[in-house]
Structures are given as structure tokens and as C-alpha cells.
């Protein structure tokens, strides 16, 4: 049994609490939030506190707070020589105070507050300073996920950056499509199955192989028509840049 | 029972044949391809031909050929006053020869050759010239899909354009992420669950509400770090343009 204390009350902290709570190999020792009202509804399920000095001994402390607060919180911990990890994709492992053993426990997923999450399929990328601390963190990750990856700091940086492309930027393309359809009185809903299928397609096929459309075919007539259709200059810029990007990839 | 003949042997034609074949309310009268070898493996299932002059009477003729060939094929049909439709998102209904009744039967989905397709969830957008021909085409669409939309020419144009954003451009972002991870020796696979979740999220939430990340938060430190990390100028351009797009959308 691995005992864990969670520090923070955001989406990641909430989802971790839920999955640990139903995982036999893991017990949640304590949950800390500086704002106790955020977690008080869980007080019958888990021991809660808003005082770092009250933190009891646990095998692993997971700091799941905003990136900017990680260093400060790790410095404020009233103990040393225990395993302390953060969950951020972009904060260095060295930002954790060196009085404790340090690690990173980075679940590569987008967490919404209410959406159900199946942790078994969420990649968990782990890092430790010193090999000794690795097996325990790995056991914790494997208790909740089938996809555990040992990575190094550079690889985490790369993943975090690539995630911005496939998550934030992709979502912004959905947004632009929403703007385009809305402005012509067309239901955005009609595009939803295509959105889902586009994401499913690359689960088994490389994005290179999955590509289709006017840019890949270098279908100048359609591209010209589309550019004429777009009224918003900003949408035009995106169309041009990504059309050229596809052409480049496919040697057009 | 609606009788249908399919003209063409590409992905759309293949998928339509399969779904009609298992739909009780529809019978496939004939399948035409100018290259008979492409469809000859189906000759025990359906009557095939490579000669337009051999086309027998059917309720609806579906021209599922490349955009450029639609006008020519419709002109070459050896009959008149029957219902002839094409399946393209971008070709005008008026490109069909006017000797026949004309319509559009546009399934808004990306079709791969081998991927299984659940037509029940594929939006089928239909258009006819003249109200009289609409009910028959609607019946055909409803026989295979739960999502049938009556649209006009402008709306189809808009959908086709928006589809380029959510399908081709999104897929290119996946490709860029593949390039970024590959160049650092990181498995692209780690991103796949995030890709899927990003698409799932907007099935119930608007893209506006679903947005997260450094651009939305206007987290200048992370944006600067990412730009420094990107070695490829072209990737940088995409990062800048879409970051600014998100900032604009969210009033940053």
C-alpha cells in the first residue's frame, strides 16, 4: 500500500484524489488546500487540512498547484528527505526544494472539472532525481494507469510543447470553424462527428498518412475558392499558413 | 424500397455500397466504375458495369467520383428526368447536367479505405433543385443515418470550408506535433489519448469553453520558453499565429 498526500485543489488534484480513492494499492493520507472550503465537502472521505505544518508522514507528496506556486509550496513543507513530486508539464524538477527527494508525476491529459476521466488510458510521465526514488513513483503510476513512461527533463519539455499543438491549437481550429459556421447560420454540431473521426484516425495511422483535402492534393481551384469565401482576415492567415504547411509536408 | 445505382469506385462509393447493402429499405441496382477491375470483386453481391449505356432504371443515381469528373459523368448519362445526385462538398448542384432531376447527397465525414464507418452518426447534408425531389432523397439519407440535414448551396460551401479547418488543418497540427516529438526522440503515441480527449471535449462543450493553456492564460513566460524551444521556423510561425488567435478569442 502506497500512502499519498495531495497538495492543491485544482482539476488535477481533484481527479487524482478520485482515482486514488478507488485504487486498492493506494491510500490517500491527507488532502491539503490553502482554501479549506474548496475541499471541505470531502472531509468524510479523506483527512483534510489547510495547514502545511499539519501534514503527516506519507510515502509520496503530490504537489498539484499552479506552476508559479510549486517552488514556494515545496519550500514551505515542514519536513525533509521524503519523496515530493509535482504534476506540471513545464516546471523543472529542480524547482522543487532540494531538502526532499524530488520527482515529477505528469499526467498528459486535459482535465475538465466535471468530465469523467479514465486514468487507465492516461499516459503518466515520470521523472525522479536519483534512481532510488524511481521504483516507488513508478508503482504509484502503474497502480492507476496502463501507460507509464519514464522520461527526462528535455522530453517532458518537448511533450508539453507538442501538447499545446494537439490540444490548445487544435481546439482553436475548432473555435474558428465554429465562428465560420455561426456566421453563415450553419449548425456547428454537423462538424462534431468529423472532429471525432479526425482524432480517431491518427490513433492507428500516422498524421502523414491520414492527411487528405485540397492542400494535400494541391487543388488550387478549391484553395482559391476557400480564400475568397473567408471574410475574416485572421481566418485567412490561418488558412494560408496551414495550407502551406500541408503542401510542404507533402512535397507540393 | 429505394433502388440506387452508384457511379464511381472511390472511398465514398465503397462505403455507400456497404451501408446500402445492409440496409433493408435500400437496394443497390448497379455499380458502375470505368475501371471494372476496381469493383469486380463485388460481382457476386451486386450487378456491376463499366458501361454507362448499360445503366438500368433506378430511383436514384449517386455520382461519387472526383470533383472534376462530376459534370462530365452527369452529361454522359444516357437517360433523362431521373434523380441524379453527387456526393461532393464543394461542387455546385448546377454542375450536374440539367436533363435530369438534380440533388446533392453530402456525407460530412472523412473516409479511409479500410476504417469501419458507422453511418448512423454521419451527418448527411442534402440539397435538391425543386421541392418535389426532396422527400425521396431524404428517405434515402434517413435509411442510413440519424443525422440528416437539409442545407442550401451556401451552407454546404461553408461546411466544406469549416471541415478543412477541423479535419485537414487539425491533422496537420498532429503532424507538426509528430515532427516535434520525433526530433527529440519522444514517442508520438504518448500524445494520442490527449488528441482523442480534445476532440471528445467539444462534443458537449463549445470550443470557446473548452480552451485551456498558456495562450488563453496569456502566460508570457511559458510562451517565450516554447518559442525558444522550437527550432523549426515554420513551427514557430504556426505557434505564433495560433497563440495570437487564442489571445484574440479570449480578449487577451
| Closest to B204 in 3D by CA, of A14, A172, A203, A195 | A195
Residue B228: closest C-alpha in chain A: A161
**Is B164 an interface residue toward A (CB < 8 Å)?**
yes
Spans in chain B with pLDDT lower than 50:
none
Q: What is the pLDDT of residue A224?
A: 95
3 state SS of A167: helix
Q: What count of residues does chain A have?
A: 252
Give the mean model confidence (pLDDT) for residues A205-212: 95
Q: What are the boundaries of each domain within chain A? A: 2-151, 156-249
Q: What is the pLDDT of residue A206?
A: 96
Residues 123-162 of chain A whose Cβ lies under 8 A from any Cβ of chain B: 123, 125, 147, 149, 151, 154-155, 157-159, 161-162
Q: Note the helical H segments in A34-152.
A: 70-76, 134-144
- Residues A32-80 pLDDT 10s: 999 999 999 999 999 999 999 999 999 999 999 999 999 999 999 999 9
3 state SS of A244: helix
Give the mean model confidence (pLDDT) for residues A207-230: 94
| Closest to B5 in 3D by CA, of B48, B62, B82, B43 | B62
Q: What is the pLDDT of residue A112?
A: 73
Asked whether this chain's domains B2-151 and B156-249 adopt the same fold, the reply is: no
Q: What is the pLDDT of residue A208?
A: 97
Residue A93, C-beta contacts closer than 8 angstroms, at least 6 positions apart: A86, A102, A103, A104, A127, A128, A129, A153
ipTM: 0.93
pTM of the entire predicted model: 0.92
From chain B, the residues in CB contact with A177 under 8 A are 162-163, 165-166, 207
Q: Is B215 in Cβ contact with A190 (below 8 Å)?
A: no
- Residues A102-136 pLDDT 10s: 999 999 998 877 777 899 999 999 999 989 999 99
Residue B37, C-beta contacts closer than 8 angstroms, at least 6 positions apart: none
Q: What is the pLDDT of residue B110?
A: 86
Most A CBs within 10 Å, among B12, B174, B179, B189, to test the A interface: B174
- Residues A2-41 pLDDT 10s: 999 999 999 999 999 999 999 999 999 999 999 999 999 9
In angstroms, what is the C-alpha Rg of chain B? 22
- Residue A140 gets the label, from left (phi > 0), alpha (psi -120 to 50) or beta, of alpha
* Secondary element (H or E) of residue A7: strand A2-7
What is the CATH code for B156-249? 1.10.1040.20
Residue B197: closest C-alpha in chain A: A110
Look at the domain A2-151 and name its fold: Rossmann fold (3.40.50)
Amino acid at each position: 500500500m502506497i500512502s499519498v498526500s495531495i497538495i492543491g485543489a485544482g482539476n488535477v488534484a481533484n481527479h487524482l484524489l478520485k482515482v486514488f480513492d478507488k485504487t486498492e494499492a493506494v491510500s490517500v493520507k491527507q488532502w491539503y488546500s490553502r482554501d479549506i472550503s474548496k475541499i471541505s465537502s470531502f472531509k468524510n472521505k479523506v483527512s483534510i487540512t489547510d495547514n502545511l505544518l499539519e501534514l503527516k508522514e506519507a510515502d509520496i507528496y503530490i504537489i498539484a498547484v499552479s506552476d508559479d506556486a510549486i517552488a514556494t509550496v515545496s519550500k514551505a513543507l515542514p519536513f525533509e528527505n521524503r519523496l515530493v513530486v509535482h504534476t506540471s508539464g513545464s516546471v523543472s524538477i529542480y524547482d522543487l526544494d532540494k531538502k526532499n527527494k524530488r520527482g515529477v508525476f505528469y499526467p498528459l491529459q486535459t482535465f475538465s472539472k466535471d468530465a469523467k476521466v479514465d486514468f487507465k488510458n492516461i499516459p503518466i510521465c515520470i521523472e525522479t532525481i536519483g534512481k532510488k526514488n524511481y521504483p516507488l513513483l513508478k508503482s504509484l503510476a502503474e497502480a492507476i494507469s496502463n501507460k507509464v513512461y519514464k522520461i527526462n527533463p528535455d522530453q517532458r519539455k518537448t511533450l508539453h510543447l507538442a501538447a499545446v499543438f494537439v490540444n490548445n491549437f487544435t481546439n482553436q481550429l475548432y473555435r474558428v470553424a465554429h465562428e465560420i459556421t455561426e456566421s453563415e447560420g450553419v449548425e456547428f454540431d454537423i462538424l462534431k462527428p468529423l472532429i471525432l473521426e479526425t482524432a480517431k484516425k491518427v490513433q492507428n495511422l500516422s498524421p502523414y498518412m491520414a492527411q487528405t483535402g485540397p492542400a494535400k492534393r494541391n487543388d488550387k481551384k478549391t484553395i482559391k475558392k476557400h480564400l475568397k469565401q473567408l471574410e475574416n482576415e485572421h481566418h485567412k492567415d490561418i488558412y494560408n499558413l496551414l495550407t502551406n504547411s500541408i503542401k510542404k509536408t507533402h512535397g507540393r
